Amino acid sequence: MSTYAEVLAGFDDITRDEERHLFSVSQVDRFMNRALIETCEAARYRVESESISAVADQAVYAITEQGYDILRVEYDDEVIIPIGTAALRHADRNWAVRTGTPRYYYLDELYSSQEYLSVGLFETPSSNLTDGLTIWYDAHPDTATYTKTATEVDIPDWASGAVLFYMLYLAYTADTKAQSFEAAAVFKILYEDILERLTNSSRSRQPKSWMCGAASSPSVSVLNRLPQRIPAP
């Protein structure tokens, strides 16, 4: 992974703002973290899982990490199926108070846990089960901080260019003396181009730790059609 300092070096090289006259530290942090989140959600490169103890008569469980999209839910090592509350109400007016072994999960109408991504179980568990609920989900990257520039940002090497271009897009649309919507438009196009090529060529088909550039060894085909490395942008 690239460090905050490595991504920032490219940002400063283009904006010529090493002394932070145009963009404050807090602005740079905001640019970086917004770019990380946007790229992460577009490329979906970070998948996490969490095991939660099921509690008798408790239907709703919250993900405590930075999750934003549920991928898979298991109860007692068995996959359970997504369903909507409208379908549950249509099938049984008393669905919300039914207890037993959960075989479905729902995500809508969970108003009590807005600060977290939450999952509801149907039927509501009738007994306690340690680590009985396992949830896989797409997660946001860890927050990057300017004061820890030597720390690696939570993004694969292949996506650091996209993060840099999105940071520059945000910088040139900001209300500063350097504001240039023309430059911002160029960097947004570059961001979208590298993101499209990298995600289409790499997502779920090539290791995310591989970097752009020529291979150090003879090229070996993958699935007889994919290149060993993604061409540099």
Query: pLDDT (tens digit, 9 = 90+) per residue, 168-181?
Result: 999 999 988 889 99
The pLDDT, as a whole number, for residue 3 is: 87
Region of poorest pLDDT, from 41-45, 63-67, 111-115, 205-209: 205-209
| Structural domain span for residue 96 | 47-139
- Does position 109 have pLDDT exceeding 60, yes or no? yes
Looking at the 3D structure of the chain, how many domains does it have? 1
Residues 159 and 39 sit within 8 Å (Cβ to Cβ) = yes
> In the block, which residue shows the tokens 């396992």?
134
Question: Across residues 110-122, what is the average pLDDT?
Answer: 78
Which phi-psi region, left, alpha or beta, contains residue 222 (left: φ > 0; alpha: ψ -120 to 50)? beta
Q: Answer whether residue 91 is part of any domain.
A: yes
> In residues, how long is the chain?
233
Question: Across residues 99-108, what is the average pLDDT?
Answer: 94
- At 88, the amino acid letter reads L
Residue 185 pLDDT class (50, 70, 90 cuts): very high
- Does position 186 have pLDDT exceeding 90, yes or no? yes
Q: Answer whether residue 216 is part of any domain.
A: no
Q: Answer whether residue 129 is part of any domain.
A: yes
Q: Answer whether residue 66 is part of any domain.
A: yes
The pLDDT, as a whole number, for residue 42 is: 84
CA distance 143 to 32: 9
Q: How does strand 104-106 pair with strand 118-122?
A: antiparallel
Region of poorest pLDDT, from 30-34, 94-98, 169-173, 204-208: 204-208
CA distance 178 to 183: 10
In the three-class reduction of DSSP (H, G, I as helix; E, B as strand; rest coil), residue 168 is classed as helix
CA distance 213 to 209: 13
Residue that wins the pLDDT comparison between 23 and 63: 23
Q: Answer whether residue 221 is part of any domain.
A: no
Q: Answer whether residue 173 is part of any domain.
A: no
- Tell me the pLDDT of the chain averaged across its residues: 83
Q: Answer whether residue 37 is part of any domain.
A: no
The pLDDT, as a whole number, for residue 195 is: 80
Token pair listed for 149? 């520039």
The pLDDT, as a whole number, for residue 159 is: 73
Token pair listed for 169? 């897009």
Q: Answer whether residue 64 is part of any domain.
A: yes
